[in-house]
């Protein structure tokens, strides 16, 4: 049976130093898992998507990727047939030290472990932050999925979300899923190609999308030197053939622009108690897809996404949101609904 949802993105082997508590060393991570967990929050909510709604994962890993992790994904009900295992090792290590709930650093892990008094893990020896590979409109990242990696039945899914990937991969995957007539297609851009020099390329990428979900920082970088008005930026992108532009603003909530009705909304962030902001944007996107596919109401989708993100930031790790108390997501959704403001 083809999965109801497909998420395409990247997997990491995370080494996280949260602002509080013990480090997470060599644990499953990556935008793909945070997004899938953001949707998974609603598989268990009373008024969420059904538990029978399967999720397909699309990514590339090396032969050294732990097989027991793949089995753990399957136990969560996730379809791993789209995880293409290369016949070579692939360094998927990802280090992040959170100085507080907002500021993070990705370099010099030895110094950060010493600062906190934790022993340095041997498995992190030789780690270097990912290098800037240049123009990602020309060369795909080694860990990015390719169209040929898509299992045939994934093309018959109801909805697809593309996590931040290089531009070339995003372009190829959107084309593949559009040609397969996938009705709901959402994309969270990579900051690497959200620059003033690539505005026209980004507008090409938006054609036929259901929703485009950049952060405020990414959107401002894209329109640098053109305008400071976020609504004007959203309107410009909406003219490219994308139904909904959703601007993620962290603790300031989200902005939603409907390019068909030209309506605008501001949605506050749920007043969570942040511990670690890692993956919040990805989790939001997964929650949005859950809400939108249930109601086909983009505003409802944003509310679902906001709740997913609030659960993610109250702990550390890709699966923290899935450990929320039963009914908590629904209660947060109910409390947020009355706080929406139409502009």
Which pLDDT tens digit goes with each residue over 289-326? 999 999 999 999 999 999 999 999 999 899 999 999 98
pLDDT in tens, 94-144: 999 988 756 789 999 999 999 999 999 999 999 988 766 555 677 899 999
In contact, 207 and 240? CB cutoff 8 Å: yes
pLDDT at 21: 77
How confident is the model at residue 51, as a pLDDT? Answer: 47
Instruction: Check: CB of residue 314 under 8 Å from CB of residue 320.
Output: yes
The Cα 43–Cα 47 span in angstroms is 9
Q: What is the pLDDT of residue 135?
A: 59
Please identify every stretch of the chain with a pLDDT value under 70, giving residue numbers as ranges.
44-53, 101-102, 131-136
Q: Where are the domains of the chain?
A: 5-130+138-342
Second-level CATH architecture of 5-130+138-342: 3-Layer(aba) Sandwich (3.40)
The percent of residues above 90 in pLDDT, for the chain, comes to: 84
User: Dihedral (C-alpha) 219, 225, 231, 232: value to the nearest 10 degrees?
Assistant: -130
Local structure of residue 215 (DSSP, 8 states): B
Burial class (CB in 10 A: 0-12, 13-18, 19+), 10: buried
């Amino acid at each position: 049976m083809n999965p109801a949802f497909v998420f395409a993105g990247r997997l990491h082997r995370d080494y996280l130093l949260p602002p509080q508590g013990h480090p997470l060393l060599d644990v499953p991570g990556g935008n793909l898992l945070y997004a899938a967990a953001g949707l998974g929050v609603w598989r268990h909510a009373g008024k969420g998507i059904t538990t029978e709604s399967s999720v397909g994962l699309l990514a590339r890993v090396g032969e050294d990727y732990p097989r027991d992790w793949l089995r753990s994904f399957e136990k969560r009900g996730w379809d791993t047939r789209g995880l293409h295992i290369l016949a070579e090792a692939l360094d998927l290590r990802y280090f992040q030290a959170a100085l507080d709930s907002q500021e993070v650093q990705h370099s010099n892990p030895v110094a950060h472990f010493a600062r906190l008094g934790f022993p340095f893990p041997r498995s992190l020896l030789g780690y270097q932050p990912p290098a800037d590979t240049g123009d990602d409109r020309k060369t795909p990242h080694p860990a990015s999925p390719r169209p040929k990696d898509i299992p045939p039945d994934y093309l018959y899914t109801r909805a697809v979300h593309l996590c931040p990937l290089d531009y070339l991969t995003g372009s190829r995957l959107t084309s593949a899923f559009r040609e397969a007539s996938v009705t709901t297609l959402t994309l969270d851009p990579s900051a690497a190609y959200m620059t003033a020099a690539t505005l026209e390329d980004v507008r090409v990428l938006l054609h036929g999308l259901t929703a485009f979900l950049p952060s405020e920082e990414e959107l401002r970088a894209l329109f640098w030197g053109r305008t400071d008005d976020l609504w004007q930026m959203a309107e410009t992108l909406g003219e490219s053939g994308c139904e909904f532009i959703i601007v993620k603003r962290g603790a300031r909530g989200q902005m939603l622009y409907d390019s068909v009705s030209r309506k605008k909304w501001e949605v506050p962030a749920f007043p969570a108690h942040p511990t670690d902001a890692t993956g919040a944007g990805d989790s939001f996107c997964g929650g949005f897809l859950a809400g939108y596919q249930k109601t086909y109401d983009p505003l409802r989708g944003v509310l679902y996404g906001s709740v997913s993100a609030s659960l993610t930031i109250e702990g550390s790790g890709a699966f923290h949101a899935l450990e929320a108390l039963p009914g908590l997501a629904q209660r947060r959704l109910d409390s947020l609904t009355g706080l929406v403001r139409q502009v």
